[in-house]
Amino acid sequence: MTNSGPPTTRFSVGLTGGIGSGKSTVTDMFAERGAAIVDTDQIAHQLTAPGGAAIAAIQSEFGDSFITPSGAMDRARMRARVFADSEAKKRLEAILHPLIRIESDRAASQVPGSYLIFVVPLLVESGTWKQRLSRVCVVDCPEHLQVKRVMSRSGLNESQVLAIMATQATRQARLSAADDVILNEGSQADLRPQVDRLHALYAALAAKGR
């Protein structure tokens, strides 16, 4: 799928942020307020689950060793491969990204809500998503908090988390791409007024057809 235009005529926001920034928490808050959510990470998981649309191509490109006995992509093995080999990363993305685009557009045409939020962890890195969106919202936090949060939830050590962060866009690059920023350096109570403000803005812009 090569079309880089808007996926639908609905007002759409791309929500992104680095690992550990709090995207999931913010996404849930927007959903509670009536936004239609399309999560590209969930779509990627579905595509690489047993029977997923990407499995045959991944097996053909990378071999049987990257497919688990259940028929899913071996995520741990693939993660190690793409971290060590940038060309392998490009080959995987060449399989997944067009399928994610197709499934995202399909979901966007079906999910109810006053406006669309596409949750795209690698929105800035992809280079193609921004032109398809009405606005970009970045969930931001200091990098030391990213490390602390990911270590506490995943069991990874600091060097492993930093290695993951190094493969993502820099904090400054994400902020430069943002139309709106939600700062997540405190409690969920601190997030709510920020989400409320942006939800009101997005709903108003959607109602105007902008």
Confidence of residue 9 (pLDDT cuts 50, 70, 90): low
Q: Which CATH number does 8-35+115-210 carry?
A: 3.40.50.300
Q: What pLDDT score was predicted for residue 1?
A: 33
Q: What is the pLDDT of residues 87-131, one digit of tens each?
A: 999 999 999 999 999 999 999 999 888 899 999 998 998 877 888
Q: Report whether 206 contacts 10 (CB < 8 A).
A: yes
DSSP helix, strand, coil percent of the chain (3-state; round to 5): 55, 10, 30
- How many other C-beta atoms can be found within 10 angstroms of the C-beta atom of residue 77? 14
- In the predicted model, what is the mean pLDDT of the chain? 91
Asked whether the predicted pLDDT for residue 166 surpasses 50, the reply is yes
Q: How many CA atoms lie within 13 A of 195 on its CB side?
A: 23
Stretch 43-57: mean pLDDT, rounded? 96
Stretch 136-162: mean pLDDT, rounded? 93
Predicted model pTM: 0.89
DSSP track, 135-199: EEEEEE--HHHHHHHHHHHH---HHHHHHHHHTSPPHHHHHHH-SEEEE-SS-HHHHHHHHHHHH
Q: What is the pLDDT of residues 177-197, one digit of tens each?
A: 999 999 999 999 999 999 999
For residue 60, give the 3-state DSSP assignment: helix
